[in-house]
Each structure stands twice: as structure tokens, then as C-alpha cells.
Amino acid sequence: MAAEHIGILGGTFDPIHVGHLFAAVAARDVLGLDRVLLVVANEPWQKVGSRSVTAAEARLAVVEAAIDDVAGLEASRIELDRGGPSYTADTVDQLRRAHPGAEFFLVVGSDIVPDLSSWRRVDELQGRVVLAVVDRAGGERAPDPPGWRVARVDMPALEVSSSDLRERLAAGRPVDFLIPDDAIRCIRTLGLYALSR
């Protein structure tokens, strides 16, 4: 039996948007992944204290709504269940124990590559995953970071960010086609990103 190929796309997803989703689908197809886990951060250690972060369970619900019925994409609550700060090295270790023999692909945007050295236990990660770098068309291509096995995934340039979407939602401006319809409905049902935030 062939080893399973699993992508890991972690994030705060506050909220998830078409850029995240296209990156996941592009990685799935370009790298021939069996599935891509969208791992919702419990406590995103790089953002704690710098801004308000929506409750993890609410962010997970929106991710689940966004990818409902999308083949090969799965919402993962592994970091919520573990609790505490979310470190990719801990998540990879846990997934490797749960899926022995699987090959893991850590999906990151090219904008993240220069900051990888700041990650906790990054030297251990290098030997445990293939770094799947998503390059946006027209953007500057980050060089392969030393010490990593690297795969490249190209995607169109999509100028969309979660921070802009939070502002749009708070102001009551449209986010149609930037966030999947089911995710927008979930955001409204949960009352997220209101003006009072």
C-alpha cells in the first residue's frame, strides 16, 4: 500500500478566505496529496497580544462551513484539542504518531519563508516534512530556505487578507466571492466581526 500524502495548511483563519482555499486546492492538485488538513490554530503564538483573535471554536466552525463538500480538504481541530499555544512542530509530531508512514507536506505562503527561522523547533520540522511553498503569480519568489526539502506550488495573485476582511465585515461592506457563501452564513449566524469588536 502506498504511503498517504497529507498536506498541512495551518493558520489563524480569522476569517478563512479564497486565498487560503485556493492555496489548499492548488497544493492538493500540484503535489498529488490525498488530503489537505486546514489546521486551525488554538492560540496563534505570533499574534497573541498583538491583536484580538476570534475564539478558536468559532474560527473552526467557519472553516468547516467554507470547505464543506470540497474533495480532499478537511478542517482539523488538533490544535484546539491539544490546547495552549499552537506550534507547528507539536502538530506535526502528533500527526506523525497518528499516521505512521504518511508523508507530510507543510503548505506555507512564500511570504512566510523568511520567518521560518523564528519558529519553535524548526530544525526538527526540516527533517519531518516537505515544505510546500505557495508562490503567487507576479510576486517575488522566495529562495528555497536551507535545510528543507522544498516543493513549489504556483497560484494566481489574489490580493485578499483576513485583516481587510475583518474590517469589511465590521463596516458592513460586502465580502461576497472573497469568502465562500456557507462561511459567510456561519459568520453571520455566530455574530462574528461586528462593529463592537
Rounded CA-CA distance 148/94 in Å is: 20
- Listed by start position, the domains of the chain span 5-190
Specify whether the CB–CB gap between 43 and 36 falls below 8 A: no
pLDDT recorded at residue 38: 98
Residues 108-128 have pLDDT tens digits of: 999 999 999 999 999 999 999
pLDDT recorded at residue 48: 64
Chain-centroid distance, C-alpha 13: 7
Q: Which residue has the cell 506550534?
A: 87
CA-CA-CA-CA torsion for 15, 18, 23, 27, nearest 10 degrees? 110
pTM score, whole prediction: 0.93
Decide yes or no: CATH 3.10.129.10 for domain 5-190: no
Residues 21-57 have pLDDT tens digits of: 999 999 999 999 999 999 999 998 776 666 789 999 9
Q: How many other CB atoms are there within 10 angstroms of residue 71's CB atom? A: 8
Q: Three-state DSSP class for 161?
A: coil
pLDDT recorded at residue 196: 41
Rounded CA-CA distance 197/138 in Å is: 35
Q: Give the CA angle between residues 152, 153, 156 to the nearest 5°.
A: 140
Rounded CA-CA distance 99/83 in Å is: 20
